[in-house]
């Protein structure tokens, strides 16, 4: 019955396709973040496999948080400059941005560097 309903209902197919696309985007994102092995877990121990997946998701969630924070900051500045935004274009933004990530490069870590202050009370203008 579900397959018949799926074939007959264009809106249902569109909803399922959109959800599938979001899932595939996330899966591609976490695979890209997986360091070494092209996303293949070479462990036979179930507990170690779970840890690897959890650590990979932790890194992904940290990058997603950073991306959303950065996009929010940029959009807030854009609005403060008096610009309007297109709701439809905002819907196309994705937190799975990787172009700014130096995955295998050299890093300089400064233990004295303080992270920027996070302002969670930024007003959101909805038109």
Is residue 47 domain-resident?
A: yes
In a domain, 118, yes or no: no
Whole-number Cα distances in Å, 36 to 32, 49, 52, 107: 10, 14, 12, 18
- Which tens digit of pLDDT belongs to each residue from 33-63? 887 666 778 888 999 999 999 999 999 999 9
> Where are the alpha helices (H) located in 81-126, listed in sequence order?
87-90
Q: Does some domain include residue 63?
A: yes
Please compute Rg for the chain using Cα positions.
20
Chain centre distance of CA 37 = 21
Q: Is residue 67 part of a domain?
A: yes
The pTM score is 0.71
Compute how many other C-beta atoms are within 10 angstroms of the C-beta atom of residue 53.
13
Structural domain tally of the chain?
1
55-86: pLDDT as tens digits: 999 999 999 999 999 999 998 898 889 888 77
Residue 35 counted as domain residue? yes
Range of the domain at 28: 2-90
Positive or negative, the Cα torsion across 90, 94, 95, 100? negative
């Amino acid at each position: 019955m579900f397959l018949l309903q799926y074939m007959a209902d264009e809106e249902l197919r569109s909803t399922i396709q959109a959800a599938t696309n979001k899932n595939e985007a996330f899966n591609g994102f976490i695979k890209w973040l997986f360091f070494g092995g092209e996303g293949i877990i070479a462990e036979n121990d179930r507990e170690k496999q779970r840890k690897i997946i959890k650590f990979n998701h932790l890194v992904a969630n940290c990058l997603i948080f950073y991306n959303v924070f950065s996009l929010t900051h940029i959009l807030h500045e854009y609005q403060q400059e008096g610009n309007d935004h297109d709701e439809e274009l905002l819907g196309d933004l994705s937190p799975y941005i990787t172009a700014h990530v130096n995955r295998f490069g050299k890093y300089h870590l400064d233990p004295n560097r303080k992270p920027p202050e996070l302002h969670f009370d930024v007003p959101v203008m909805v038109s």
